[in-house]
Chain A
Amino acid sequence: MKASDALVRKMEDLGVEIVFGIPGGANLPLYDSLYDSNIRSVLTKHEQHAVHAAEGYARVKKRPGIALATSGPGATNLVTGLVNAAMDSAPLVALTGQVVRSFMGTDAFQEADIVDVALPHVKYATVVLDSSKLVKEFVSAYKCAMSGRPGPTLLDLPRDVQQEDIGEFEGIDETVEPRFLKQSLPPDEILLEKAAEFIVEAKRVCILVGGGAYYSDASREILKLAEILNAAVITTTPGKTAVDESHPNVLGVVGMHGRFESNLAVIDSDLVLCLGTRLSDRAIGPPSEFKKSRRIIHIDVDASEIGKNVIPDVGISCDAKLALSRLIDILSTKRFSPKDPGWVLGLKEIGRSFDEYMFGQADRSRLSSWKIVKVIRDELPRSAIVTTGVGQHQMWAQLYFKVLEPGTFITSAGLGTMGFGLPAAMGAKAAAPDRIVLNMDGDGSFLMTCQALGTIVEYDFPVITVVFDNRALGMVRQWQDLFYKKRFKDVDIEDRTNLIKLAEAFGVEGLFVNSYEELRIALRRAIRNDEAIVIDVPIDKDEKVFPMVPPGKWLADVILPPGFSNNVEETASSPAK
């Protein structure tokens, strides 16, 4: 049996149902093996689309997505997506073709050392030089991607290795060495007991939910604990997808572009329980300020994250769901006076007044991004999956789009990869064909990967795209406005690229809307018919994302929309300006 035939057969055994990629000279044997397989292969327009689609698929399915590329430029085009997956802890396996072994190291046509390029950013990468080990290496890479903290892996496959005869499939060694598998250990009981003591003593508890809580499936435990403690649930950007944001205890995203009440919750808290998060500066601001005046309990499946950015009072290396289940058990044996439910209610009220203020600010002559997000949320079913590009629209989405079911918000959080939204949406639709998938995008972000529309049509992945079109790189423009004295440089997109005609060129309906009602009608039709559409929504390039905490500043240094702060100072007891 040919090694690539054996590889494809093992992929089938492991439940791989779809791969995204582009064939080329160096991975032709693998594609030839896929010809006889039930695995669906999706030919993307660019390898970056393939790897983002694999990530979108993985985030919905909670199992590795597969991206294929040929050697050289095919492989290097995957790099952004691999780093993106590493930053957001998404499981995927990249299989790259490589020149034949005898040509390796000769600067052969389309030769690139992709293993060493990818190595700093993946959990595991190797070039498979022995065809008899190809299947075993794939199984190891696949399991490694999901084991412990999920992440990307890469196998580089010389063309002659793929096509070598390796004998009978049944005789293939596929045992996975323990070094590829991170065992999920039970939480340390002594540390849990200490955490419970601190929680009992605390008056105002915040639960900070990271993306790890989603992969751990800890939503139920988080909300149960929040109810027991009358705690405020706040999330990082990747953690937004882990909980139902309509729950009374959930405030929303915290950080640089966090919701005002979420940032206030941290400022006002005396204990933060951090779950499955690396405590990035974007979420918590300066670690010294975050640590000041409050106790920190940090639970993460990746032990190296504990103490990396913030030294916690208690650090527990464990799966979030497992640790929370035990913590709830321990707390149920303790007697403590209930925490004040008025705290979260007050914060919620501040959030409500903020939303009201923002809606009140909307200029009737222009469409407001906040209202656009609201229309989208109102029209989408609960189970619909939303992806985003990167930029202002992403921040409006994280601020105002309420996740109602876990796993329904997919965004590029850590790396901030513009162009992520559309291919990720394609992957999400492949994973969940019965659900509505909508990509919220900006015009700058959309134009980076818009060729994915062609794949969407060809493979029937009906994805709805709403473009927040301000003809600018809005977020960069906002920074130049606020921090560079309005010296706008290379942020205004002067071209008049017609997004409608562009969509139509790919065979997707394009529609320009100029009112909330037109947007609503377009969405209803697309949802009802489950059809691909690009909806171009003009917004004002001077519209900014607020709240905003300036880079390097503490959450209390938040910049609020002009006119709002006076309203809040009367009700907020916090030091926020």
Chain B
Amino acid sequence: MKLLLLAKQGRLTLKEASLKANEGVIIADLVFEGPPEKIQWFMLKTSGSPYVLECKKIE
């Protein structure tokens, strides 16, 4: 949820999402699309978030 809210703040579009649950912990693979500068902001913003396990750029 936090990532979706951050993406909304950055005007990014959610392109793909898959959810898994592991002992009550939700693990989400999310793919967002947006202008390069917004993607860059999003990656930097999420890098400081305790909710993010990994964030990478897909060309």
Contacts and interface: CB of A to CB of B under 8 A. Distances in A.
Nearest to A305: B44
A553 interface: no
B40 A307 contact: yes
Given A179-B53, A307-B40, A307-B41, A302 B5 contact: no
Interface string B28-47: 00000000010011101101
Contacts of A303: 44, 47-48
A289 interface: no
A156 to B, nearest CB: 14
Nearest to B23: A130
Contact of A179 (B1, B9, B37, B52): B52
A445 interface: no
A182 B9 contact: no
A180 interface: yes
Contact of B48 (A116, A129, A149, A308): A149
Interface string A285-328: 00000000000000000111011100100000100000000000
Given A116-B1, A119-B1, A179 B40 contact: no
A140 interface: yes
Nearest to B42: A304
A123 interface: yes
A311 B40 CA distance: 12
Nearest to A151: B48
Contact of A119 (B2, B40, B42): B2
A130 B24 CA distance: 11
Interface string A207-247: 00000000000000000000000000000000000000000
A177 B25 CA distance: 15
Contacts of A307: 37, 40-41
A148 interface: yes
Interface in B16-30: 24
Given A179-B50, A303-B48, A308 B41 contact: yes
A307 B38 CA distance: 10
A552 interface: no
A205 interface: no
Nearest to B6: A120
A123 B50 contact: yes
A182 B42 CA distance: 16
Contacts of B24: 129
Given A119-B2, A304-B41, A307-B37, A140 B50 contact: yes
A260 B49 CA distance: 39
B31 to A, nearest CB: 19
Contacts of A410: none
A120 B9 contact: yes
Contacts of B51: 124, 179
A188 to B, nearest CB: 14
A177 B50 CA distance: 9
The size class of the interface chain A forms with chain B is 20 to 34
A124 B46 CA distance: 12
Interface string B7-18: 001000000000
Contacts of B41: 304, 307-308
Contacts of B45: 304
B55 to A, nearest CB: 12
Contacts of B48: 148-149, 182, 302-304
A123 B49 contact: yes
A77 B27 CA distance: 31
A144 interface: yes
B6 to A, nearest CB: 8
Interface string A462-494: 000000000000000000000000000000000
B45 to A, nearest CB: 4
Nearest to A303: B44
B50 A180 contact: yes
Contacts of B53: 179
B51 to A, nearest CB: 8
A311 B36 CA distance: 13
Contacts of B49: 123, 179
Interface string A175-194: 00101101000000000000
Contacts of A149: 48
Contacts of B37: 307, 311
Nearest to A182: B48
A363 B24 CA distance: 68
Contacts of B2: 119-120
Nearest to B9: A120
Contacts of B50: 123-124, 140, 144, 177, 179-180
B49 to A, nearest CB: 7
A129 B26 CA distance: 14
Interface in A26-62: none
Contacts of B44: 302-304, 306, 317
Interface in A124-162: 124, 129, 140, 144, 148-149
16 contacts: A119-B2, A119-B5, A120-B5, A123-B49, A124-B50, A129-B24, A144-B50, A149-B48, A180-B50, A302-B44, A302-B48, A304-B44, A304-B45, A306-B44, A308-B41, A317-B44
Given A119-B5, A123-B50, 4 more contacts: A303-B44, A307-B37, A308-B41, A311-B37
